């Protein structure tokens, strides 16, 4: 058994780079949703009765911070995946056959690029919602 994996001689991009590109956007979107929900739920209901919170407070700033970090992470994952895809494409040239490592690397880079794009828009829509909807409604 090869401890490195299939076709290590054709690997042009490190696997952890491909993994970051494919998982950064979904992980940060999940973090944005969970942290935003947790912070606003605790701020709006600190006890038995709800509290009215207006825009511009610390809660809105924290949620906006989560949104900005998630947008940056999605863009970074997309950029890394795009660069990885270009590197794999240039390394294999115009050959008709692909080695196992090239096909896997190309697939993971393309998957990271597409998932980063999808989740970037999901984070963007959540950001628009957090900017336009008051955090606490009575």
pLDDT in tens, 67-112: 999 999 999 999 999 999 888 877 766 555 545 456 788 889 999 9
What one-character DSSP code corresponds to residue 125?
H
Q: What is the pLDDT of residue 132?
A: 87
Query: Comparing C-alpha atoms, which of 137, 127, 83, 128 is closest to residue 109?
Result: 83
Question: Using CA atoms, how far apart are residues 84 and 73, in angstroms rounded to an integer?
Answer: 16
- Please report, for residues 11, 48, 65, 73, 99, the alpha-carbon distance to residue 4 in angstroms, rounded to integers and kept in the order given: 10, 56, 39, 28, 15
Q: What residue spans define the domains of the chain? A: 14-132
* Rounded distance between C-alpha atoms, residue 22 and residue 26, angstroms: 8
Write down the pLDDT at residue 54. 66
Residue 14 has pLDDT above 80, yes or no: yes
Confidence class for position 59, pLDDT limits 50, 70, 90: confident
pLDDT class of 137 with cuts at 50, 70, 90:
low
The answer to whether residues 74 and 113 touch, using CB atoms and an 8 Å cutoff, is no
pLDDT band at 123 (very low <50, low <70, confident <90, very high): very high
Intra-chain end-to-end CA distance of the chain, in Å: 62
């Amino acid at each position: 058994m090869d401890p490195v994996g299939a076709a290590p001689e054709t690997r042009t991009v490190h696997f952890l780079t491909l993994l970051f590109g494919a998982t950064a956007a979904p992980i940060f979107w999940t973090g944005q949703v969970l942290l935003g929900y947790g912070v606003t739920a605790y701020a709006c209901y600190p006890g038995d009765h709800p509290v009215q919170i207006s825009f511009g407070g610390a809660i809105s700033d924290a949620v906006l911070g989560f949104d900005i970090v998630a947008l940056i992470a999605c863009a970074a994952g997309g950029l890394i995946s795009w660069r990885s895809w270009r590197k794999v494409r240039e390394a294999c040239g115009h050959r008709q056959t692909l080695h196992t490592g090239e096909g896997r690397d190309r697939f993971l880079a393309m998957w990271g690029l597409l998932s980063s794009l999808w989740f970037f828009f999901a984070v963007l829509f959540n950001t628009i919602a957090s900017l336009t909807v008051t955090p606490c409604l009575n």
